[in-house]
Amino acid sequence: QAHTFRSSLPLLNQPRRRRRETQPERERERDSQMGNRSKTSRKGKKAWRANISTEDIEDFFEKSTKDALSGGNLSAAPSEDLFHVDKSHDIPVKRKIEKHREKALRCDSVLKKNPFVQVVSSSKPKSKISKKKTNVVESKTFKQAQKNVDDGSVMTDLWGDDDNNNGEHEKNPRKIWKMTSSIPAVEVDPAGCSYNPTAESHEDMLAEAVAQEMQKVYKNELGPEPVPLTIDGNNNIEDEAGLLSVCNRIINGKSAYFLGVDNGSEGEEEADAEKESSEAGNNKNARTTKRVTRVVLNKRSRQKALRKMETKEKLKEKLSKEIDSLPKILKEIAKDDKEKQNKLIRRKIAKEEVLKIRPPRLGKHKFEAPPVQVLLTEEMTGSLRKLKACCTLARDRFKSLEKRGILVPSKNIRRN
């Protein structure tokens, strides 16, 4: 019983526990001295009374003695005795709070800009300079504009400060305007296209025009027929193959699918037959081979050794020859290199030549040259008044743009 009681006590007050431990021991001693005590029942009132603790009383006494020794109870003492107002550094509360607020956290202070550390920009510093310069230019032109306004005109001289700024423009690394091709913007027609040409050159041009026209015709005639976009169901039956298949279906009562299967099985049979025949051949071969005797084996091994020797020697010879012909090889290599370079140059030139005639392929459609503008023989009158001139110059311009690779050639621009 005593043990259960003890365990429920707080662990901290060690001395008290010691005391409690001692009390039952004493009782036990007392019991053993009396002798008869053990025989009585412990269920009675007396026995229980013995178990009532006087701890709280003891505690109180202990405490009061302690207080007396230390100089009085604290809770009873007035607060003035306990506390005093410190008036030495009297900072206003508001300021205190502000001071607290001013203090930056380290994580923030680290992110703050340091005036002593130079900024590393991600963009090029060059652009900054050019920006400044352009600003200057703009202001200049603005001034000029004002001047011109005074003159009575609205425009400005765009290239007025050419002389000053030449250097800057050359410095600009990006070449903005790059010619797309070597084809000139305005191609002058050949002499045969004159309104009053010489007979020879006119005939030449006419021949060219006819050739162009005929090329189109031939292309239409000789080229593969375009695949039809839609096929009629009725047409399909009229087709010979279609008719045949339909007939087959009707006659055999089988679908095309089964026919296909039949064909496959036939093929398999054929393959089987072939296999058999080849096996038979192998058997025959096996029978015809002779046994290899020791003599033959020896002979073979000797020959093998001999061959090995020979090849070795040959290799040696070859090597020595190659060493001898080193300069020759070097020469050959040089020649090869030269040829390669020539080839490269040739290819480049050829490409340029092609580009002169034909524009680059920029989109889905190829560029189609416009028809040559040339007079027919009966239209040649020699009079400027009666000239049957070209009235589609806009098309000519458009085609020129396409030819120079500025526009992407397209078909069917208009929807009507």
In the complex with other proteins, the residue whose CB is nearer, 304 or 356, is 356
| Size of interface with other proteins, in residues (CB under 8 A) | 72
Residues of span 338-367 touching other proteins by CB under 8 A: 360-364
How many Cα atoms occupy the beta-carbon half-sphere of 406 within 13 Å? 13
At residue 321, what are phi and psi to the nearest 5 degrees?
-60, -45
Q: How far is CA 401 from the centre of its chain?
A: 35
In the complex with other proteins, the residue whose CB is nearer, 166 or 342, is 166
Residues of span 175-234 touching other proteins by CB under 8 A: 176-177, 180, 184-186, 188-191, 193-201, 203-204
Q: Least distance from C-beta 384 to other proteins, angstroms? A: 5
In the complex with other proteins, the residue whose CB is nearer, 153 or 311, is 153
Measured CA to CA in angstroms, residue 232 lies from 229, 236, 250, 256, 415 at distances of 10, 7, 22, 21, 28
Angle formed at CA 90 by CA 84 and CA 95, multiple of 5 degrees? 130
Give the binding range for other proteins (CB under 8 A) out of 82-90, 246-254, 319-327, 397-405: 397-405
For residue 118, how many other CB atoms are within 10 A of its CB?
7
Stated length of the chain: 416
In the complex with other proteins, the residue whose CB is nearer, 121 or 293, is 121
Helices (H), 325-408: 326-357, 393-403
Q: How far is CA 40 from the centre of its chain?
A: 98
Residues of span 367-396 touching other proteins by CB under 8 A: 373-375, 381-385, 387-396
- Please tell me the distance from the alpha carbon of residue 149 to that of residue 156, in angstroms, as a whole number: 9
Residues of span 1-40 touching other proteins by CB under 8 A: none
Q: Which of 5, 29, 30 is nearest to 17 (CA)?
A: 5
Q: x/- contact string, 289-328, with other proteins (CB under 8 A)?
A: ----------------------------------------
Q: x/- contact string, 120-159, with other proteins (CB under 8 A)?
A: --x----------------------------xxxxxxxxx
Give the binding range for other proteins (CB under 8 A) out of 85-93, 251-259, 295-303, 399-407: 399-407
